[in-house]
Amino acid sequence: EAGVVQSPRYKIIEKKQPVAFWCNPISGHNTLYWYRQNLGQGPELLIRYENEEAVDDSQLPKDRFSAERLKGVDSTLKIQPAELGDSAVYLCASSGGFGETQYFGPGTRLLVL
Amino acid sequence: QQQVKQSPQSLIVQKGGISIINCAYENTAFDYFPWYQQFPGKGPALLIAIRPDVSEKKEGRFTISFNKSAKQFSLHIMDSQPGDSATYFCAASVGGYNKLIFGAGTRLAVHP
């Protein structure tokens, strides 16, 4: 069974440019998470989806970050405009539902110059 | 109160030795304590987890010890192997996997 798929794996952009990350969760997983992992730190939750609904976006910087999960499957996380401090690894995870194990993708490493 | 403090930041162990990583928390509402293992270029993967109604859980060479009164829990890796070299994260949550709060991680290197 395929795991969580993320693309691109690496992205280098200049500050003030937009960037988007894509995630395809494990088939059948209704819950999808986006995390940000700064260098030398643990992941921090940005947003959690239950199917199409964003049920926890309290940590998402809404002035520049947006996310969507159309049709309750794939998800896209966008940053516009990017700032130097956004350089990090953006991880997507999915689970079969509330209270179940989260499976992480390999992440997208973003470098903002 | 949401923090999970992890130590040490890095750890070097000889092959066959015991690796011990510690975590402490403040929020007494936490009721789920998983450990994740992360290799370079990969996402974190669940290693082992414990709930506060037990003081110890063992899976193969990996053991979690949990001290509810001290609000501390630790990961022990017995007979450490070079393949165990990775970054380990403790985490905690309320109500299962709803919202995991991660520690800062411990980079483990097991030397042959």
Asked if pLDDT for residue B97 goes beyond 60, the answer is: no
Maximum distance among all Cα pairs of chain B, rounded to whole angstroms: 41
| Cross-chain CB nearest to A101 (options B41, B43, B46) | B46
| CATH code given to domain A5-112 | 2.60.40.10
Secondary structure percentages of chain B, helix, strand, coil, to 5: 5, 55, 45
Instruction: Please state the domain extents for chain A.
Output: 5-112
Q: From first to last of its 113 residues, what are the pLDDT tens digits of chain A?
A: 689 999 999 999 999 999 999 999 999 999 999 999 999 899 999 999 999 999 889 889 999 999 999 888 999 999 999 999 999 999 999 998 767 888 999 999 999 99
Cβ distance of A98 and B104 shorter than 8 Å? no
Instruction: List, in order of start, the domains of chain B with CATH numbers.
Output: 4-111 (2.60.40.10)
Residues B89, B92, B96, B99, CA torsion sign: negative
Residue B109 touches partner A, C-beta closer than 8 Å = no
